[in-house]
Amino acid sequence: MGKNAIVSFKGIKDINAEIALTGSKSESNRALIISALSEGIVKVANLSDAVDTVTLNNILGQVKAGRNNDSFITVDVGHAGTAMRFLTAYLSIANGNFHLTGSGRMKERPIRLLVEALKKLGASIKYAGEGGFPPLDISSKFAQNSRTVKIQGDISSQYLSALLMIAPSLPLGLSLEIEGELTSRPYLEMTLSMLQEAGIDHKWENNTIHIDKQNFKACELIVEPDWSAASYWYSIVALADQGSISLPHLKENSLQGDSAIRNIMVPFGVRTSQTPGGIALKSGTSVAINEVLNLKDCPDLAQTIIVCAAAKGLNLSFTGLETLKIKETNRVLALQQELAKIGVTLTEDNEVYTLDCAQLSFPKKVQFQTYDDHRMAMAFAPLSLFIDEIEMEDYQVVEKSYPDFWKDLEKAGFTIKEI
């Protein structure tokens, strides 16, 4: 268990700051795998400094250095879920023998669909613990016996991205048939766009994506700043009396699905304008939201939006939250438990989740648990605009995706004191 910190905001809640965000974790992790598959022909610039990305980068270096070794190389991803999924596919076609493992929570996160898809293609993977979950023993005995594989689209888009990234390196290429509804489609489109930039063509016909065996081209993938990290600043501007935040280098036409936060937060009173150097957020007038918000394509925004809505006393309903239950923690349950501390309930009814803010109240001091989940800490931190003292449990958990989060909050006038 890490250390706790007191988060507070004193004085007039008129926030004006410029915040330079780290590179996108989602783009960075894809770029690293693509670069490794290309044997370094594809270069990467502006990598995220998130722990997940640093972990993946270090592992890929370790694999490159030791893959001619006949003995098993232990690869430990810790809490890095993206790294677990992407490496399961990447290591299945790498030269070497690998024991792929992670934290206790990682060993509870399902991976059967991806493993079975890879095995159908010809990978040699065995469960080294409970069936359907990490750890995995992966050998270099990949012998492709099929080009076509089917996989559900409503469990994790990372399974699909993992398969698509190795597709051009497979002897027979890949035809990936997506069964059922596709969750987090923008993340899949991000993967295909980055592959395209690296010279890899694809065809998407109906529910099947085709990628032939082909070579990567020399190029540099430049990682955009992280729109997921930007979402916390949208929440702060929405909750402040007055807010004006500049976020350099973010693009209007972004590969990142979480850029949807621009439109989602308009009814919350946040206006976004493009500037020569990035974007600017400014607080404005809120308007009524009468529809159910579907977060299927941007589930990583869910905690931010739901907590912000609760703090504003909005009895909103949401769909598209099913994948939250298999993230770093069961994020739905975590939200329910922590929102109860400000008198708000989040109820589930046939995949529709509804806030009831009738008993909303802000205590003078409250402790929020983070459940080893970076997004819990960052989603609840803005509530210090209403609560005199928030004690944030294991506050350094934010290092997973946004290591400078607390430093950036201090730039905007918040006080962070480790205890």
User: Which tokens sit at 276?
Assistant: 């020569």
Q: Is 300 a catalytic residue?
A: yes
Half-sphere exposure of residue 350, counting CA atoms within 13 Å on the CB side?
0
User: How far apart, in whole angstroms, are the C-alpha atoms of residue 351 and residue 299?
Assistant: 14
Contact 69, 146 (CB under 8 A): no
Contact 182/153 with Cβ under 8 angstroms? yes
Computed on alpha carbons and rounded to an integer, the radius of gyration of the chain in Å comes to: 22
Q: Which of 300, 372, 394, 404 is catalytic?
A: 300
Residue 135: is the preceding peptide bond cis (ω within 30°)?
A: yes
Cα–Cα distance measured from residue 28 to residue 366, given in angstroms and rounded to the nearest whole number: 35
Residue listed under structure tokens 């099913």: 322
Catalytic residues, by residue number, are 300
